[in-house]
Amino acid sequence: MNKPVLGVLCSGRGTNLQSIIAAAESGQIPAAIGLVITDKPEAKALERAAQAGIPHICVDRKRCASRQEFEEKLAASLKEHGVTLVILAGFMRILSPYFVREFSGRIMNIHPSLLPSFGGAHAHRDVLAYGVKVSGCTIHFVDEGMDSGPIILQAAVPVADDDTEDTLAARVLEQEHVLYPKAIELYLKGRLVTEGRHVRIKS
């Protein structure tokens, strides 16, 4: 039987992409990565995909006349490659209801804080400014809001008094690289049951 196909969307260096590639190669994730898309031509994620022999394209947001055109291109490319689950891995754009409906219930995102606290584009800066003692990361399904969809998995890390954005980001990233493959594995094995805001993990 054919494996399910993942499409991974990235904006930058792609270390989460790399952990997902490793998990697909080891067999932890029973899926193929069918396509990697970036919204920026300089994103290092493209090189990582190339090195792993994964089809990869850039849909340059700056070359699209509108968000609708950009998202139509994303959706068309993902469908052409037979993608059934869309993975946002450091993809720094908010997707409109149009795109979310195209892949309804089949888009996951990773965010580097314990949602619903510290959503948005500067989670670590906001965590340090607020003075919380614990942070972490969240994997969630994407709905039509920002960082607001049903939560699949979370991992916590301590925040140290002398943390900088970089030291905190590095501690959280270690957890991200474990948690994202795990969430994808659970999804692909049919172990996630979503009821409203709640995602139950079947044993």
User: Is residue 12 a contact residue for ligand GAR (CB under 6 A)?
Assistant: yes
Stretch near ligand GAR under the rule CB under 6 A, chosen from 1-9, 13-21, 24-32, 62-70: 13-21
Across the strands, what pairs with 94?
A: none
- Which of 8, 16, 36, 107 touches ligand GAR by CB under 6 A? 16
> In the structure encoding, which two tokens stand for residue 144, read together?
């039509």
For residues 45 and 90, give the distance between their C-alpha atoms in angstroms, rounded to a whole number: 10
User: Is residue 83 a contact residue for ligand GAR (CB under 6 A)?
Assistant: no
Residue 111 annotated to the active site = yes
User: Is residue 135 a contact residue for ligand GAR (CB under 6 A)?
Assistant: no
Interface mask toward ligand GAR for 98-117; x: CB under 6 A: ------------xxx-----
Q: Quick one: 146 exposed, middle or buried, by C-beta within 10 A (0-12, 13-18, 19+)? A: middle
Position 193, amino acid: V
Residue 157 C-beta: closest distance to ligand GAR, Å = 12
Q: Where are the alpha helices (DSSP H) in 44-90?
A: 45-51, 67-80
Of the pair 14, 34, the CB lying nearest ligand GAR is at 14
- Which of 31, 85, 176, 192 touches ligand GAR by CB under 6 A? 176
Print the SS3 string covering 101-121: HHCCCCEEEEECCCCCCCCCC
Cis peptide before 116 (omega within 30 of 0): yes
Answer left, alpha or beta for residue 110, where phi above 0 means left and psi between -120 and 50 means alpha. Answer: beta
Helix (H) or strand (E) holding 178: helix 165-188
Residues 77 and 37: beta-carbon distance below 8 Å: yes
User: Is residue 140 a contact residue for ligand GAR (CB under 6 A)?
Assistant: no
Residue 45 C-beta: closest distance to ligand GAR, Å = 6
Query: How is residue 158 annotated by DSSP?
Result: E
Of the pair 15, 117, the CB lying nearest ligand GAR is at 15
Size of the site for ligand GAR (CB under 6 A): 16
Stretch near ligand GAR under the rule CB under 6 A, chosen from 8-16, 24-32, 49-57, 191-199: 8-16
User: Is residue 93 a contact residue for ligand GAR (CB under 6 A)?
Assistant: no
Using CB under 6 A, list all residues that contact ligand GAR: 10, 12-16, 89-90, 110-112, 121, 123, 137, 173, 176
User: Which residues participate in catalysis according to the annotation?
Assistant: 111
